[in-house]
Structure 1
Amino acid sequence: MSTERTTPAGSFSYELTRTLDAPAKKVWRAWTTPEQYARWAYAAAGSVEMDVRPGGAWKATTVTPDGGRFPLTGSYLEVVENRLLVIGMDVPGKPAPAVMTLELDEEGDHRTRVVLRQTCDTAEDRDMAEQGSTLLLDGLSAFLADGARD
């Protein structure tokens, strides 16, 4: 399973595409259920809260491999169950949230194409966000491959 990377030259945007061996409903639940999300998204136990609806808030504390903890907050801007999540991520010192778009496209009964997009303010922000998103997709892929419960 590989990730297709599309980063336009001179752009502060990126797009990652990956096909997962799981139906869209299962991918959706992994991304929108606090207990499941915490298991694959490097979140501290008990730190994930999700109100998955337009305007609903979310929060999680990410734990880095060296033990660092980073609290994250935001809100859902657009929600289409099993198809689309547009997620606003609060950025300290900035009036507007960073926006990440997650699209799910079911391919047959048991495969889902995931497209993750984000536009950032700088090349450095884009590179960091893209690295984090790649780690998220890696964690999600492993979680689903290990037989995530329905």
Structure 2
Amino acid sequence: MAEYFTITRTLSAPRELVFEAITKPEHFAVWFGTAAVEVPRESLTMDVRPGGDFRAAMLLPDGNRIDWSGSYVEVDPPSHLAMTLSDQPGDDTGLPVLFDLEEVDGGTQLTISQDRSDFTDAQVAATIAGYNAFIDDIERVVAGLPSA
């Protein structure tokens, strides 16, 4: 049985813009890397449809590189996205990471859920910190997007 941990934040933007920031390569490359890590746009492949593939490289400040891969399992704009994600391409990607977007007063409630799998408590805490950094940058991305 899966045991998910979740991160929930409210962003002051319409969910269509938040969904766009999550699924458009030019925006994804900004927030997935956060301010500290570069995700070269040319390393990014996003076929955002059920069964579509995902690939990205993170270039770390210390010169190391992390290659990410996965696939899109569910795509229901602008409310839900489920994608597998692994920094060990070729390995079993496990259960998908879930992105749920709900309209709320003042914007969009974004909930990211991930299966704990065999993570230690320290790894869960580090992953939550990473997702919070992602969401900080998603906020910056959507602040720069024109409202529909």
TM-score, normalization: structure 1?
A: 0.79
Cα drift, residue 51 of structure 1 = 0.7
CA RMSD of aligned residues (A): 2.3
2:74 aligns with 78
Work out the CA distance in 2 between the residues paired with 1:30 and 1:67: 27
1:14 aligns with 5
SS in 2 for 1:46: helix
2:45–2:54 CA contact under 8 A, matched in 1: yes
1:59–1:72 CA contact under 8 A, matched in 2: yes
2:119 aligns with 122
Structure 2 segments unaligned to the other structure (5+ residues): 34-38
Cα 1:98–1:128 change in 2 (3 A) is farther
1:12–1:126 CA contact under 8 A, matched in 2: no
- Alpha-carbon deviations, 1:52-93, whole Å to 9, x = none? 111110111123344432110100111111000111013537
TM-score, normalization: structure 2?
A: 0.80
126-135 or 13-22, larger mean C-alpha shift: 126-135
Number of aligned residues: 138
118-127 or 93-102, larger mean C-alpha shift: 93-102
2:66–2:87 CA contact under 8 A, matched in 1: no
Give every structure 1 segment of 4 or more consecutive aligned residues whose post-TM-superposition deviation is greater than 6 Å: none
